[in-house]
Chains A and B, each alone.
Chain A
Amino acid sequence: AQSVTQPDIHITVSEGASLELRCNYSYGATPYLFWYVQSPGQGLQLLLKYFSGDTLVQGIKGFEAEFKRSQSSFNLRKPSVHWSDAAEYFCAVGTTSGTYKYIFGTGTRLKVLA
């Protein structure tokens, strides 16, 4: 069955430090992969997506993610975190098995220390 796992429920980093949020997926075909960010009291906003081609994709707000097929991973990274990055981050897989559908991970809540 298709699934998305975000193993870290909470992550705390200091402002200016680097960040990596982990995402593992289970899907038989080449996946459509996404990262969304949810700021407090807001809906989700698309950070970046991967469909094919270059496995390192750039997104908004200075984020990037790398697709590694051999590890079934799509980890999100940022070289230097800003206090405004504190939010909840969701990894998602888009599937087309029968119908178009997203499968979301359970989210990672990021806390940034000043």
Chain B
Amino acid sequence: EAQVTQNPRYLITVTGKKLTVTCSQNMNHEYMSWYRQDPGLGLRQIYYSMNVEVTDKGDVPEGYKVSRKEKRNFPLILESPSPNQTSLYFCASMPGTTFNYGYTFGSGTRLTVV
């Protein structure tokens, strides 16, 4: 089944403790992206990657890092999480640099930073 898999689904952590949220897709998509979803703000893009070793900042990149060493994986790293990073995070992918097929989204990771 074609899908984007995020792990974990839920995570509670403490301020300052480094964490990684994994994202993997099995569709050979070139384009991958991370979003955070907050009430009243919709989805805001954190980082995106147009291909292996090609990443760039989205609208809200502060406090986050990403890497794209393999085509299928696009982990999101929070080096020193803070409470304002408590949010619902989505990974998404799409084939190439085209909108023809839209995004495929993961099921989300609900992160709480205390």
Query: What residues make up the interface of A, taking CB atoms closer than 8 Å to B?
Result: 9, 32, 34, 36, 41-46, 49, 51, 90, 94, 99-102, 104-107
Contacts and interface: CB of A to CB of B under 8 A. Distances in A.
B99 A32 contact: yes
Contacts, number: 57
19 contacts: A34-B99, A41-B107, A43-B105, A43-B106, A43-B107, A44-B92, A44-B105, A49-B99, A90-B42, A90-B43, A94-B99, A99-B50, A99-B56, A100-B31, A101-B58, A102-B33, A104-B44, A106-B40, A107-B42
A104 B50 contact: no
A35 to B, nearest CB: 10
A88 to B, nearest CB: 9
A106 B56 CA distance: 23
A51 B35 CA distance: 23
A78 B41 CA distance: 25
Given A42-B108, A49-B99, A94-B99, A100 B50 contact: yes
B68 to A, nearest CB: 15
Nearest to A35: B102
Interface string B18-49: 00000000000001010100001111110010
Contacts of A43: 4, 90, 92, 105-108
A93 B58 CA distance: 15
Contacts of A41: 107-108
